[in-house]
Structure 1
Amino acid sequence: MNNHIVVINSPKYNRDTYFRRFVEQIRQNKMHRKTPIVLLNTDYPDGLPSTLTGLGIHLVQGHGNHEDDFKRANLEGAANILILAKDEYMDDSDSLCFDLCYRMKEHGLAYRVIVECVEDENRGRMKRLGVKSVIRPIRSYPEILVRAMESPGSELIIEDMFTHDKDHFLRFPLWLEGDAWRDVVAAMMSANIGTPMACISKDGAVNINPAGEERVFGQSIIILVKTDAIPTEKQVQEAFRKFNSTDLSA
């Protein structure tokens, strides 16, 4: 087996559901419709349940830090190696993940590794081993791991949305009467407000990432803002009014 995806360890809770959603997300990409997926863990002593066996998943009983198991899962030939935290709530999981990453480095495979890290202070240690990406365990969204494989870097943007550390979404009232979405975006960006991501229609429907030329009707917008520079409602409305008046006078 070559150019496959290997997932080392498994979630402590609801692992069957997690792996099913993970595989379903991978299969949505035409390039990975038939890519073999190998689970390397000791959490299925009786084999995989029927809910997983029909999804193109192969189980290797073992540990990623044992050389024999390393070979049986053919980690040398894997295109992507995903290392999950054994327990997303216990920082002791980082020790095992670090050991696995170090083994991958010894084999010259760290650049293929996406690893979960529970404690932020341990991220730097793992990153210095040369792994592709270090992310928080977010069990409700296995899609984040998929994004990390397909569009490296995008997983960090998604992860950032779950916290208030740097950036987050806020909703601001703004009455729109068929304005071009590109003008809404330009108004906020030019005023250094943030990046508009969605429009809330007058009946409450959320229109996410409209096309630039789309004419939007709404009563609010959702903006990606900097946590240390949150604008006021007045600033948002003034930015749009100023942009429109400037545009009309041009």
Structure 2
Amino acid sequence: MEEQVNRLVEKTWTKFQSTPPNQRILIAISGIPGSGKTTLASTITTRLNALSSTLHGKTTTLPIACYIPMDGYHLTRAQLSAMPDPETAHARRGAAFTFDPVSLLSLVTLLRAPLNPTTPTFFAPSFDHAIKDPVENDIPVPPTSRILVFEGNFLSLGKGEWKEITQLMDELWFVEVEEEVAGRRLVPRHVKAGIAADEESAWKRVRENDLVNGREIVQGRVDVTEVVVSREDERWRPKD
């Protein structure tokens, strides 16, 4: 796993060197729940910023890369409750229909535009796991951030606004993992987060929701630039 990460960092850094200063590189990392895409996205972002910290021999704290998770685009619990079948909506939270891809597409479109002296800092929403709802305008994306790493389950899905989002990206990376491995990662996470009361109910949610979503993600995937095979590695431990 570590070797794959190193190669992707090197590839992105090389691409960045030849990217005009008024343009950004947009990368979308997707995969089924439990694939490890969150860890990949945060690791790539951290290592790119470490490389850029001594750009041109000058130490800088300005982040050249920015990590933007899709979690902030979950529909709120109130929005799920307002759906025609609220019980199913809450039970299937995490499925494509429980997200707001229109708002995500709007942000990606703004960030895709060429940079200029008046480009402002844009903001993306985050997700508060304590209240189990998004937090608006919580992740700043300053004009100095020229490599944007987006991460989320459906960022390679070939339908509706999701497909439009894929078409605005420079690179699409997909993290591949076996369903059983993903399930073993998700079960303790669901229990710890209070999503499930115990391992038995967590496995029920994994099989009836997470892996169902995962099959939609795999079957509806567009062509991607990179497939990253998720393996256990002491130097790189997947968290998502």
Q: Counting strand residues as a fraction of each chain, which structure ranks higher? A: 1
TM-score relative to the length of structure 1: 0.30
Greater relative CO, 1 or 2 (CA 8 Å, sep 6+): 2
